[in-house]
């Protein structure tokens, strides 16, 4: 999915990241190499800063599509444009415990009150003009109905059209990666498309933040690299072909789950 030029650039940048260079330095270096594909931080005019709907099959992922078919085609455009991209990513690890409650009421037996049905029924004879006190015991219990852990990554891929023409066939493929000591490089642990249907075409000067939330089976590592490959088919210098403008972000997974209790 990524052309040879981009793979080479990404490999070089990963090595620099491993050496401890700041993300901003990586972004600047990448912008220079790609000759006009710059990295920017989301401006106040950007739309889309709200969580998108869940996927059609109802699973936990949000804003996720097939990486091999991440976006529907859009109308052909006469002219080329340029993009700026950035990324905001956060790892999450949550333990969700759902409780329910049971309440049982029992009559306490004494000299004046007799009980039956394991204390659920009480009988007392009250002579005329006298009183009888009936005592009850309330047994309240809280029990676990469901317990599950949720691990994943969420965030925004931010795209701005910095040219003079609308975008054509805008698509986003996201790579969640960890560093492999043996390979000496970052490797994919998940690849997914990011839904662009909230704004499939960006007009000149328009910017939009595309939300995503992707769930993993469990923590793979403490440190991650997240790369989004934003592509259009009318990028300046690459008209008629899919050209990628990458955006990077690094993040750490929480060291332990955050407890969420629901009654």
What is the reported pLDDT for 127? 84
Share of the chain above pLDDT 90, in %: 48
Residues 6 or more apart in contact with residue 144 via CB below 8 angstroms: 97, 98, 99
Residues 6 or more apart in contact with residue 65 via CB below 8 angstroms: 71, 192, 193, 194, 195
What is the reported pLDDT for 35? 30
Determine the CATH number of domain 4-96+146-262: 2.60.40.1470
User: Residue 56 pLDDT > 80, yes or no?
Assistant: no
What is the reported pLDDT for 173? 96
User: Residue 149 pLDDT > 60, yes or no?
Assistant: yes
Residue 164 pLDDT class (50, 70, 90 cuts): very high
Q: What is the mean pLDDT of the chain?
A: 79
What is the reported pLDDT for 49? 46
What is the reported pLDDT for 14? 47
Cβ contact 194:212 at 8 Å: yes
Residue 59 pLDDT class (50, 70, 90 cuts): low
Pick from 197, 225, 199, 191: nearest CA to 89 = 225
User: Residue 197 pLDDT > 50, yes or no?
Assistant: yes
User: Residue 133 pLDDT > 70, yes or no?
Assistant: yes
pTM of the model: 0.67
Cβ contact 228:211 at 8 Å: no
Q: Which tens digits make up the pLDDT trace of 71-81?
A: 888 888 889 99
CA 111/CA 83 separation, integer angstroms: 87
- Give all strands (DSSP E) within the chain, no chain letters: 38-39, 64-65, 83-107, 113-116, 121-124, 136-161, 171-180, 185-194, 207-216, 223-235, 238-252, 258-262
CB-CB neighbours of 19 under 10 Å? 7
Of 22-31, 112-121, 135-144, the poorest mean pLDDT is in 22-31
Residue 44 pLDDT class (50, 70, 90 cuts): very low
3 state SS of 30: helix
Q: Where is mean pLDDT largest: 71-75, 119-123, 143-147?
A: 143-147
Instruction: In the chain, list all ranges with CATH 2.60.40.1470.
Output: 4-96+146-262
Pick from 209, 211, 214, 223: nearest CA to 191 = 214
Q: Is the dihedral of CA 237, 168, 34, 42 positive or negative?
A: positive
What is the reported pLDDT for 90? 93
């Amino acid at each position: 999915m990524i052309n040879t030029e981009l793979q080479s650039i990404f490999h070089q940048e990963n090595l620099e990241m491993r050496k401890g260079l700041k993300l901003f330095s990586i972004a600047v270096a990448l912008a220079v190499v790609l000759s006009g594909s710059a990295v920017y931080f989301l401006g106040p005019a950007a739309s889309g800063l709200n969580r998108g709907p869940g996927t059609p099959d109802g699973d936990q992922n949000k804003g996720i599509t097939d990486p091999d078919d991440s976006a529907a085609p859009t109308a052909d455009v006469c002219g080329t444009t340029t993009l700026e991209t950035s990324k905001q990513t956060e790892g999450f690890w949550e333990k969700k415990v759902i409780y329910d409650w049971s309440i049982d009421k029992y009559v306490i037996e004494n000299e004046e009150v007799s009980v039956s049905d394991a204390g659920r029924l009480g009988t007392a004879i009250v002579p005329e003009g006298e009183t009888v006190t009936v005592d009850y015991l309330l047994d309240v219990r809280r029990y676990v109905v469901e317990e599950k852990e949720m691990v994943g990554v969420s965030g925004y891929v931010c795209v701005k059209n910095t040219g003079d023409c609308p975008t054509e066939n805008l698509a986003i493929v996201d790579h969640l990666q960890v560093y492999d000591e043996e390979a000496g490089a970052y490797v994919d642990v998940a690849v997914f498309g990011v839904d662009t249907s909230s704004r499939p075409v960006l007009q000149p000067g328009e910017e939009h933040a595309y939300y995503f939330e992707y769930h993993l089976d469990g923590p793979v590592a403490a440190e991650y690299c997240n790369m989004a490959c934003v592509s259009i088919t009318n990028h300046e210098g690459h008209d008629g072909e899919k050209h990628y403008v990458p955006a990077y972000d690094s993040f750490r997974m929480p060291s332990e789950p955050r407890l969420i209790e629901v009654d």
